Amino acid sequence: MENDILDAFKDIGYDKINSEKLESAIAEGPKSVEYTRLVEWLSKELKFLCSLDEHVNAITSADDSSSFLLEVSSFLKELGCQYTILTEGNVNQRLQTRGNRLLLLDFLLSELQAARMVRSNKPDP
């Protein structure tokens, strides 16, 4: 799945990640500045394209991970995320597994790709 995520980042024009950085980011999850930067970038793109109110801020240190998790929760709720594993239960447990960290990136990448397609097919007013 990591290769698919890396390919998706390249497809959307994000070139600040490579396989080693992605692997490290996924391993550390919400305590990783790199992982949270990826989520921040995706959320800001989605905020712009979908006219959302929320976005997620990257952390500057591992101590900020709790606020990051709360922002992710709020953002996913606004986005209408249907993955209950990412939206329900203890917020501090949602990104504990590697699979959930990958799922979050995959979901945000898919939503961004879809938003860009909708935007490109929508005529300008």
Q: Taking the model in full, what pTM does it have?
A: 0.94
In a domain, 125, yes or no: no
User: Mean pLDDT of successive 10-residue segments in the chain (125 residues)?
Assistant: 94 94 97 98 97 96 95 97 97 97 98 94 70
pLDDT value for 97: 98
Considering only CA atoms, give the Rg of the chain: 14
Structural domain harbouring 39:
2-120
Domain assignment present for 11: yes
In a domain, 7, yes or no: yes
**Alpha carbon distances (Å) from 79 to 54, 60, 72, 73:** 9, 25, 10, 10
The conformation of residue 81, written as its DSSP 8-state character, comes to: -
Domain count, the chain: 1
Query: How many CA atoms, within 13 angstroms, populate the side-chain half-sphere of residue 30?
Result: 24
